[in-house]
């Protein structure tokens, strides 16, 4: 049996409360949304496309990634569907995520770290050196904070970083504890004073 997500909502209703389209003020010009289920919606696999019915029908018949992919596991479909329902029901989660993201970004910047991007909940802590990113990620884990160091070829040479992903499940205390662990680890490795 094949499973896929079919969202029975108007595309503008779906994107009007979330996402890059709203952030950039272009919601009225966006007719197709293509996104992952592995990050913001927490499904850990797959993705989705929302758009005009004719486009979706064409993609189902002609899209090689769709035709030659395995079906999403039913639990992933169920979790992602529920996540979308929650996001459509209230702005509370989106507002909470924005506040948590800004708390982390502001506190890290005040501590002396460089965080790439602006308001996105994926917060790359820029370090430049691949070995440093790996050592700091290991030290963070020893402090109870799981983060991943990224370096070439995943990111450009000289742009090594630790990727932090803020989640709706994080509390302010989690954010503060993570910042404190970064400060401790950053001082140990001479990244900040």
Q: What is the DSSP string of the chain?
A: --------S-HHHHHTTSHHHHHHT-GGG---EEEESSSTT--SS-EEEE--HHHHHHHHHH-HHHHTSPPPPHHHHHHHHHHHHHHHH-SHHHHHHHHHHHHHHHHHHHHT-EE-SSS-SEEEEEEE-HHHHHHHHHHHHHTT---EEE-TTSS-TT-EEEEEE--TT--HHHHHHHHHHHHHHHHHTTS--
pLDDT of residue 14: 40
CA 172/CA 30 separation, integer angstroms: 34
Same domain, 134 and 166: yes
At 111-121, the pLDDT tens digits run 999 999 988 88
Q: Which residue has the higher pLDDT, 41 or 123?
A: 123
Owning domain of residue 11: 6-89
Which of 91, 77, 100 lies closest to 2, judged by CA? 77
Same domain, 84 and 116: no
Same domain, 109 and 44: no
On the question of pLDDT at 5 being above 80, the answer is no
Same domain, 24 and 105: no
Same domain, 171 and 121: yes
At 90-146, the pLDDT tens digits run 888 888 888 999 999 999 999 999 999 988 888 999 999 999 999 999 999 999 999
Instruction: State how many domains the chain has.
Output: 2
When pLDDT is cut at 50, 70 and 90, the band that residue 42 belongs to is low
Same domain, 98 and 80: no
Same domain, 62 and 152: no
Q: Is residue 24 part of a domain?
A: yes
Same domain, 96 and 14: no
On the question of pLDDT at 186 being above 70, the answer is yes
């Amino acid at each position: 049996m094949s499973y896929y997500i079919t969202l029975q909502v108007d595309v503008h209703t779906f994107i009007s409360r979330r996402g890059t389209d709203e952030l950039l003020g272009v919601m009225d010009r966006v007719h197709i949304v293509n996104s992952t289920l592995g990050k913001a919606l927490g499904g850990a696999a797959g993705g989705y496309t929302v758009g005009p019915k004719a486009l979706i029908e064409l993609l189902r018949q002609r899209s090689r990634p769709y035709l030659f992919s395995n079906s999403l596991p039913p639990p992933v479909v169920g979790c992602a569907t529920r996540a979308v329902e929650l996001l459509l029901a209230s702005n509370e989660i989106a507002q909470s995520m924005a506040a948590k993201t800004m708390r982390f970004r502001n506190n890290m910047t005040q501590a002396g770290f460089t965080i790439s991007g602006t308001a996105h909940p994926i917060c790359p802590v820029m370090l430049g050196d691949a070995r440093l990113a790996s050592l700091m990620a290991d030290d963070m884990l020893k402090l109870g904070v799981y983060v991943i160091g990224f370096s070439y070829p995943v990111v450009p040479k000289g742009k090594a970083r630790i990727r932090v992903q803020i989640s709706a499940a994080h509390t302010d205390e989690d954010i503060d504890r993570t910042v404190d662990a970064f400060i401790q680890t950053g001082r140990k490795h001479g990244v900040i004073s």
